[in-house]
């Protein structure tokens, strides 16, 4: 473990959208809302609950605004983002420009939503259990472990029939599960149609050295090849539990989520002992 105790800044992914995202952006990132509308083609905040095409850019903007509200009070030594939050973290660390980050999340959301619609009846299932408890059922029913979020939460992706069969089996074994309100099997092979055009877009993006290490959800290590890892992330599992463990091994003892929401704060509390996890904006500390 690293000797120096550090702050890890966390940027959320889809599922963290809140009703006050627009207010957060207007207050701390004036002008970003209008640029997001121009880039996306419509108001992403107005439609953030209608699909990932709108949710991703809205969450990206709100998370950047959250970071802006905390910037003068924090000196993070590490950063990480959950799924689309990787892009937000890379922007915050100066590896990507804000304009490129906005273009990337807008394209990512549009491409992933399109891939989900073309794949047909697919989706995601959140299971209260560990990877060792859930992995065999996923394999039997042709599903992919899309998110390893904590010792208590795994998210599966795949066909609706496979998700239904897995849910029934897991219920019999005493594990609770819930279908997520998403329009696709994200972080699975079903997203392959989105990966290729996203990779092409990444090829034209300028990448700089980040100001602090930013961890990839593909490798659970600091980004080595930003373009390649972001392209891989479209179809690869989100190894969030491994990311948190890596942050801890690198010396992080305080975890601050930029918002919107506090989903990642809860995951830290469930996954790591002896650290502080703080909710966004208000920064109310809680000892894990």
Q: Which residues of 141-159 are buried (b: 16+ CB within 10 A; e: fewer)?
A: bebbbbbbbbbebbbbbbb
Q: State the catalytic residue, choosing from 69, 187, 236, 246.
A: 187
| 3-state SS class at 214 | strand
State how far Cα 169 lies from the chain centre: 28
Q: What is the largest CA-CA distance in the chain?
A: 51
Q: With contact defined as beta carbons under 8 Å apart, do 13 and 260 qualify?
A: no
Nearest residue to 84 via CA among 224, 275, 264, 278: 264
CB 63 within 8 A of CB 259: yes
Residue 157 in tokens: 């992706």
Catalytic, 83? Answer yes
Separation of CA 133 from chain center: 23
141 is an active site residue: no
Q: 14-45 burial string, b = 16+ CB within 10 Å, else e?
A: bbbbbeebbebbeebbeebbeebeeebeeebb
The 3-state DSSP composition of the chain as helix, strand, coil percent (nearest 5) reads: 45, 15, 40
Q: What 3-state class would DSSP assign to 10?
A: strand
Rg (CA), the chain: 18
- Identify whether the C-beta of residue 187 lies closer than 8 Å to the C-beta of residue 144: yes
Exactly one of 16, 48, 69, 83 is catalytic; name it: 83
Kindly list the catalytic residues.
83, 187
């Amino acid at each position: 473990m690293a000797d120096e105790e550090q702050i890890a800044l966390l940027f959320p992914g889809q599922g963290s959208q809140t009703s006050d995202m627009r207010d957060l952006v207007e207050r701390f990132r004036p002008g970003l809302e209008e640029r997001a509308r121009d880039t996306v083609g419509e108001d992403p905040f107005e439609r953030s609950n209608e699909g990932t095409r709108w949710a991703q850019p809205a969450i990206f903007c709100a998370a950047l605004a959250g970071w802006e509200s905390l910037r003068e009070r924090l000196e993070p030594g590490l950063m990480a983002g959950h799924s689309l939050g990787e892009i937000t973290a890379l922007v915050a660390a100066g590896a990507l420009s804000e304009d490129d980050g906005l273009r990337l999340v807008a394209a990512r959301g549009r491409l992933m939503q399109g891939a989900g619609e073309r794949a047909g009846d697919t989706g995601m299932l959140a299971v209260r259990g560990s990877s060792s408890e859930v992995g065999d059922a996923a394999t039997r029913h042709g599903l992919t472990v899309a998110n390893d979020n904590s010792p208590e939460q795994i998210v599966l992706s795949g066909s609706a029939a496979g998700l239904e069969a897995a849910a029934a089996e897991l219920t019999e074994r005493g594990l609770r599960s819930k279908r997520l309100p998403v329009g696709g099997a994200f972080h699975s092979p079903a997203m392959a149609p989105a990966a290729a055009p996203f990779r092409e877009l990444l090829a034209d993006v300028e990448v700089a050295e980040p100001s602090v290490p930013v961890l990839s959800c593909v490798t659970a290590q600091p980004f080595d090849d930003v373009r390649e890892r972001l392209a891989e992330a479209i179809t690869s599992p989100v190894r969030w539990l491994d990311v948190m463990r890596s942050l801890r091994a690198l010396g992080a003892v305080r975890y601050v989520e930029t918002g919107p929401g506090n989903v990642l704060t809860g995951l830290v509390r469930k996954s790591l002992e002896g650290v502080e996890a703080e909710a966004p904006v208000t920064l109310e500390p809680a000892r894990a």
